[in-house]
A and B are shown apart, each in its own frame.
Chain A
Amino acid sequence: MARSTFVYVTYIRTTPERLWSALTEDAGFMKQYWFGVHCESTWKPGSAWRMLYPDGRVIDSGAILEAEPPRRLVIRWKNHMNPEFEAEGDSLCTMELEPIEKAVKLTITHSMEREASKLIGATGFFWPQILCNLKSLVETGSVVLAEPFAIN
């Protein structure tokens, strides 16, 4: 089946446990690097997952398909804010953490079972901003982008 996939790899000077926490249950930390957004979930396989704006609007929702802390997390992920993205249905987001020296290799793979997915196109724009913010916040104590960056 045709597929759209975005892959991003970054190396962050931290531990897998700290990075796992930053990607999951530490909502206060997530709000700092994700422009105010945070996730709600119990982070167990089969549990519900959603991502919310500070005002409580649900941006994305789905379920945790796999959770193997601090190594691997798979989320079924559907957008609700953009009608075109919502119409595309479920995407799959896999996060893999692998220790290397004093750093962790974080690989994000976000895919959908359709060609030229608009959602995957958009995630390809946002993931680098979020993950660069996360890396800067973990390594320096402050984010690199205070606001989402948009060309023109």
Chain B
Amino acid sequence: MAKSTFVYTTYIRTTPDKLWSALTGQEFQKQYWFGMHCESPYTTGSPWKLVNDRGEVWDAGEIVEADPPRRLVIRWEHQMRPELRAEGASLCTMELVPAGQAVRLTITHSVEREDSKLVEAVSGGWPKILSNLKSLLETGTVAFEDPSRSKK
């Protein structure tokens, strides 16, 4: 079946445990995810949602696999924009591999259709979020605050 996939790899000076906490902890997420946070117990089969600072649910789904601090797979359906919502479920896989004094984080986000608008949207979003996450873990502050300033 035709597929749209976005892959992004980053290397962050931290430990797998700290990175797993940063990827799943709400207060930390709000700092690097432009005010958004995720709600889930992060156990296999549990519900998951991505919520903005006004409580609006942007994406919802469930945890397909959770193997802390190595691998997290989320079934991810967008809720806000009709044209993205119409595409149905996407799959987001986060893989953490120790790399020297750092961790290699690979995000793979895919939809089982060609030219997915959702995958196009997350292709713009993930580099911002993960650049902020890397800066926050390595320096204590994010790289930039306002994602609307970088919309292209």
Given contacts A128-B11, A145-B100, contact A13 B135 (CB under 8 A): yes
Partner of B145, one of A101, A139, A149: A101
Give the CA-CA distance A151 to B97 in the complex, in Å: 9
The dominant DSSP class at the A interface is: mixed
Chain A interface category by residue count:
20 to 34
Tell me whether B134 and A140 are in contact (CB under 8 A). Answer: no
Query: Cβ of A72 < 8 Å from any Cβ of B?
Result: no
Note all chain A residues with C-beta closer than 8 A to B135.
13, 135, 139
Tell me whether B150 and A105 are in contact (CB under 8 A). Answer: yes
Can you report 11 A-B residue pairs in the complex whose CB atoms are below 8 A from each other?
A10-B131, A11-B131, A11-B132, A11-B144, A13-B135, A13-B143, A101-B145, A102-B143, A135-B134, A139-B139, A140-B13
Nearest 8 CB-CB pairs, A to B? A11-B131, A9-B127, A132-B11, A128-B9, A101-B144, A103-B144, A149-B99, A103-B143
User: Which B residues lie at the A interface, using CB under 8 A?
Assistant: 8-13, 97, 99-102, 104, 127-128, 131-132, 134-135, 138-139, 143-146, 149-150
